[in-house]
Amino acid sequence: MKVLLSSIAKNDIRMLMRVFNAEEQNKDKYFLQNLKESINQILDENQKKDIKSQKVQVYKNEKFPVDIHYLFEDNESLFITAIFKN
């Protein structure tokens, strides 16, 4: 399944990487790795379902204070719309 990022999500990731790196050196790299793991977890959990919801859903990250907002498009791609710090 393809993973697509909106321009807003890309900017969110860049901003959050700067914020986390300012908090602690190299924390931005840990955040990026954790983000990839979270996206894979979203894909794994939803792969078990035959019909994916086309409404925006929220995944709450356990290791970082962020929420990933996403939706599935035509059961073919995961579209990340935004990533917010909570």
pLDDT above 90: residue 23: yes
Question: Buried (b) or exposed (e) across 28-57, using 16+ Cβ within 10 A?
Answer: beebeebbeebbeebeeebeeeeebeeeee
Predicted local distance difference test score (pLDDT) of residue 53: 72
Tell me the CATH number for domain 2-85: 3.30.2310.20
Report the predicted TM-score, pTM, of the whole model to 2 decimal places.
Answer: 0.89
* Domain boundaries of the chain, sorted by first residue: 2-85
CB 39, CB 68: distance < 8 Å = yes
Q: Which residue has the higher pLDDT, 52 or 18?
A: 18
Residue-level pLDDT at 52:
63
